[in-house]
Amino acid sequence: MPGIANLSVRELRGVGPKLAAKLADYGVHCVEDLLFHLPLRYQDRTRVTPIAAATEGADVVIEGEVRAADVVFGRRRSLVARIQDGSGTLTLRFFHFSAAQKSHLQPGTRLRCFGQVRRGSSGLEMYHPEYQQVQGENTPVAEALTPIYPTTAGIGQNQWRKLCEQALLQLRREPVKELLPPISEVPYELARALQFLHAPPPDASLALLREGRHPAQLRLALEELVAHNLSLHRLREKQQCEGAPPLMPDAKLLSTFLNSLPFAPTRAQSRVLSEIAADLARPYPMLRLVQGDVGSGKTLVAAGAALQAIGNGFQVALMAPTEILAEQHWRTFSQWFEPMGITMEWLSGRSKGSKRASALARMASAEASLIIGTHALFQDEVAFARLGLVIVDEQHRFGVHQRLNLTRKTAPGLGRAHQLVMTATPIPRTLSMVAYADLDCSVIDELPPGRTAVTTVLIDNSRRQEVVARVAAACSEGRQAYWVCTLIEENDTLQAQAAEATAEELRLALPELAIGLVHGRLKPAEKEAVMTAFKAGKLSLLVATTVIEVGVDVPNASLMIVENPERLGLAQLHQLRGRVGRGAQASHCVLLYQTPLSANGKQRLSVLRESSDGFYIAEKDLELRGPGEVLGTRQTGLMEFRIAELPAHDYLLDEVQVISENIRESHPELADPLIQRWTGTGQQFAKV
């Protein structure tokens, strides 16, 4: 029997070449694709709700007689109709309307309306409801919950519904192929799950569906997560096939470097260093994620990896997400590597003119061994002579797609560069199984000795003066402090203005203190000067935007004030807080929040007061905010599932691992069709 995978959408009623082309843009080519175009949510139009029983905020069907319809001239002209059933009255309000529409709403006309109930000036109201004229009282209602499909302009909900209804009819005649291997004890049959989700019966629980807990959803979510996991493994295999230059450990170079440091690596650092060393020696590209809490010493690990590549005559590119962090790395590595005679080069988006040209030339001719910069390092015109290793710091700020782009940058004939990704934002295990199945993981689970815990307090902004006094007291004792200004807008200029205003305020309040200001709008040389002065202790207080979030390292700074912390994610706050607690002094972090703060907001901030464990904080963050935000918006492409939801479906992930492994080992023929079914052509991973 032919399956619906072979049946083109062109065979369906109402699908001409134009619609077929639009559907193709969605990756919908055959009837099976339509079945896997799953609703986002549902409306209940299976029953008529008496007006008196309609509650504010609910989407309901009501039915009644028009009592009056008038054009009202208020602040906005609107067409207002009163509709009444046996139980009560409700106002329909239209801000856009035609003369014809008004004439349809004659008193006495019987209407059935669907819309959201709100409370307006005249009691219960619906704005722009969908409505139809009905004759008797017994006009049939919808037989199933009404699905709302994901769509953009070009294909309307009714079109999707009609198409999917036809697809369901086909599904009753022709089978849909079961692609999960027999080991998975799925309690719900695939065809039944699809049928259910496109047309849930009137008694289906909307609440269960909304929360993604219906067995039909779980059945498909499991399959979808398996498909994603397989596609990440596939991607990785593809990279591995291309090979990479094997880079042999250079014990002498490494020990020269380690001996030059004023400290010995922690056990965790040594372990991760040797994991990386083993990876680099293999003839295929390393893809390793190093997770280490703020201050765990990831830079040293990066340096060890870099030396192994440089010792083998290869170049290393080190990319950081912000100029300021890249500059910090520049300073650290200059100190460490220049005495060893290693040549370095710098490239950022601000490198212009002859400087840029000479940087590019030195990279292309292998004159520079270690190249440090921002994502400007991976623009198309940048070429490396012998790139052996790419190090990406603070990975969560780069998307997966960007990450994949980097490995392409390899000299001809040498295969792909090895890749080391470092993040301080711990990625919860469950999430990493899906989002990072293509990476090996190392964890630096130990802080260098002598770190002090940071005491965190929540103080509301009405006590700002006390906080300012506290800063003054701390600085008069020779301590240094950060004052961090936050703004939601990803807008350098606004952020800079806010920081400037705060710096001005603090300079007035604390004239005796040397106060510096650093933000994203400063020129690199200006930033450098401020950071150097702060590091040297010439400034007591540094007012900054969140540009200092990552990497900045000034051990004598032991007090941090974060303004409006409620605007930031917990992981980001944890990062910020990691700028203090780096020296021997007891350190403090003051979260100076704006009132009123919601219960959830307070709960979130309390997590920071209670814990300094980045992993715990990240789990909480995920719980309170959802994965899209934790990973950063740029990363969400990967996390946009059709039906699976994290963390709601976290508990499926162990089973996902087992099934994925079983497919790879015992049923490899299932992998392609599964990936195809859920991720289309698989192109979505490759395009940026």
Q: How far is the CB of 387 from Mg ion (least distance, A)?
A: 22
Are 79 and 122 a contacting pair, CB within 8 Å? no
| From the list Mg ion, ligand ADP, none, partner contacted by residue 269 (C-beta under 5 to 8 A by kind) | ligand ADP
Q: How far is the CB of 146 from ligand ADP (least distance, A)?
A: 51
Phi-psi region of 626 (alpha: psi -120 to 50; beta: other; left: phi over 0): left
User: Dihedral, CA atoms, 47, 53, 54, 59, nearest 10 degrees?
Assistant: -30
At position 589, the amino acid (one-letter code) is C
> How far is residue 94's CA from residue 84's CA, in Å, rounded to a whole number?
17
Q: How far is the CB of 421 from Mg ion (least distance, A)?
A: 12
> How far is residue 668's CA from residue 420's CA, in Å, rounded to a whole number?
29
Work out which of 173, 175, 263, 651 binds ligand ADP, going by CB under 6 A. Answer: 263
Does the footprint of ligand ADP cover residue 296 (CB under 6 A)? yes
Site stretch for ligand ADP (CB under 6 A), options 13-21, 198-206, 287-295, 346-354: 287-295
Cα 634 to Cα 295, 395, 431, distances in angstroms: 25, 11, 16
Q: How far is the CB of 574 from ligand ADP (least distance, A)?
A: 11
**Contacts with ligand ADP, 478-517, as mask; x by CB under 6 A:** ----------------------------------------
Work out which of 298, 329, 356, 397 binds ligand ADP, going by CB under 6 A. Answer: 298
Which residue, 165 or 446, has its beta carbon nearer to ligand ADP? 446
Work out which of 91, 266, 423, 585 binds ligand ADP, going by CB under 6 A. Answer: 266
Supply φ then ψ for residue 3, to 5 degrees.
-95, 170
Residue number with the shortest CB distance to Mg ion?
Answer: 551
Does the footprint of ligand ADP cover residue 258 (CB under 6 A)? no
- The crossing angle, in degrees rounded to 10, of helices 251-260 and 298-311 is 140
| From the list Mg ion, ligand ADP, none, partner contacted by residue 651 (C-beta under 5 to 8 A by kind) | none
Cα 96 to Cα 100, 104, 112, 128, 629, distances in angstroms: 12, 15, 19, 8, 36
Structure tokens of 330?
Answer: 């520049």
Q: How far is the CB of 514 from ligand ADP (least distance, A)?
A: 23
Q: How far is the CB of 77 from ligand ADP (least distance, A)?
A: 60
Classify burial at 9, counting beta carbons within 10 Å of its beta carbon; exposed 0-12, middle 13-18, buried 19 or more: buried
Which residue, 298 or 396, has its beta carbon nearer to ligand ADP? 298
Instruction: Give the SS3 label for residue 201.
Output: coil
* Closest C-alpha among 158, 647, 287 to residue 431: 647
**Contacts with ligand ADP, 526-555, as mask; x by CB under 6 A:** -------------------------x-x--
Which residue, 217 or 425, has its beta carbon nearer to ligand ADP? 425
Q: Count residues binding ligand ADP (CB under 6 A).
A: 16
Site stretch for ligand ADP (CB under 6 A), options 240-248, 262-270, 514-522, 609-617: 262-270
Q: Catalog residues that contact Mg ion under the rule CB under 5 A.
A: 551
Which residue, 394 or 650, has its beta carbon nearer to Mg ion? 394
Which residue, 248 or 536, has its beta carbon nearer to ligand ADP? 536
Cα-trace Rg, the chain: 30
Q: How far is the CB of 496 from Mg ion (least distance, A)?
A: 24
Does the footprint of ligand ADP cover residue 583 (CB under 6 A)? no
Site stretch for ligand ADP (CB under 6 A), options 99-107, 260-268, 367-375, 643-651: 260-268
Q: How far is the CB of 297 from ligand ADP (least distance, A)?
A: 3
Site stretch for ligand ADP (CB under 6 A), options 43-51, 243-251, 294-302, 561-569: 294-302
Does the footprint of ligand ADP cover residue 424 (CB under 6 A)? yes
| From the list ligand ADP, Mg ion, none, partner contacted by residue 266 (C-beta under 5 to 8 A by kind) | ligand ADP
Are 437 and 425 a contacting pair, CB within 8 Å? no
| From the list Mg ion, ligand ADP, none, partner contacted by residue 639 (C-beta under 5 to 8 A by kind) | none
Which residue, 28 or 258, has its beta carbon nearer to ligand ADP? 258
Determine if the peptide bond prior to 647 is cis (ω within 30°).
yes
Q: How far is CA 234 from the centre of its chain?
A: 22
Give strand ranges (E) for 339-453: 344-347, 370-373, 387-393, 418-423, 440-444
> How far is residue 612's CA from residue 86's CA, in Å, rounded to a whole number?
60
> How far is residue 431's CA from residue 312's CA, in Å, rounded to a whole number?
35
| From the list ligand ADP, Mg ion, none, partner contacted by residue 362 (C-beta under 5 to 8 A by kind) | none
CB atoms within 10 A of CB 531: 24
**Contacts with ligand ADP, 267-286, as mask; x by CB under 6 A:** --x-----------------
| From the list ligand ADP, Mg ion, none, partner contacted by residue 321 (C-beta under 5 to 8 A by kind) | none
Q: Are strands 287-292 and 123-127 parallel, antiparallel or unpaired?
A: unpaired
Cα 136 to Cα 47, 49, 62, 64, distances in angstroms: 16, 16, 14, 11
Classify burial at 592, counting beta carbons within 10 Å of its beta carbon; exposed 0-12, middle 13-18, buried 19 or more: buried
Work out which of 299, 312, 423, 546 binds ligand ADP, going by CB under 6 A. Answer: 299
Work out which of 27, 181, 448, 601 binds ligand ADP, going by CB under 6 A. Answer: 448
> How far is residue 184's CA from residue 187's CA, in Å, rounded to a whole number?
9
> How far is residue 174's CA from residue 2's CA, in Å, rounded to a whole number?
7
Site stretch for ligand ADP (CB under 6 A), options 132-140, 263-271, 504-512, 617-625: 263-271
| From the list ligand ADP, Mg ion, none, partner contacted by residue 231 (C-beta under 5 to 8 A by kind) | none
Supply φ then ψ for residue 535, to 5 degrees.
-60, -35
Which residue, 64 or 551, has its beta carbon nearer to Mg ion? 551
Q: How far is the CB of 583 from ligand ADP (least distance, A)?
A: 9
> How far is residue 586's CA from residue 652's CA, in Å, rounded to a whole number?
43
Work out which of 39, 147, 265, 614 binds ligand ADP, going by CB under 6 A. Answer: 265
Cα 531 to Cα 330, 335, 351, 468, 544, distances in angstroms: 13, 16, 20, 22, 11
Which residue, 115 or 551, has its beta carbon nearer to Mg ion? 551
**378 Cβ partners below 8 Å, 6+ apart?**
319, 402, 405, 406, 409
Q: How far is the CB of 346 from ligand ADP (least distance, A)?
A: 19
> How far is residue 557's CA from residue 540's CA, in Å, rounded to a whole number?
9
Q: How far is the CB of 74 from ligand ADP (least distance, A)?
A: 58
Are 420 and 286 a contacting pair, CB within 8 Å? yes
| From the list ligand ADP, Mg ion, none, partner contacted by residue 300 (C-beta under 5 to 8 A by kind) | ligand ADP
Q: Whose structure tokens read 């990476």?
A: 439
- The crossing angle, in degrees rounded to 10, of helices 215-241 and 671-679 is 110
Work out which of 292, 321, 565, 632 binds ligand ADP, going by CB under 6 A. Answer: 292
Structure tokens of 161?
Answer: 């519904």
Work out which of 23, 81, 235, 294 binds ligand ADP, going by CB under 6 A. Answer: 294
Work out which of 79, 225, 277, 300 binds ligand ADP, going by CB under 6 A. Answer: 300
| From the list Mg ion, ligand ADP, none, partner contacted by residue 250 (C-beta under 5 to 8 A by kind) | none
* Closest C-alpha among 544, 542, 554 to residue 520: 544
Q: How far is the CB of 278 from Mg ion (least distance, A)?
A: 23
The site for ligand ADP (CB under 6 A) is made up of: 263, 265-266, 269, 292, 294-300, 424, 448, 551, 553
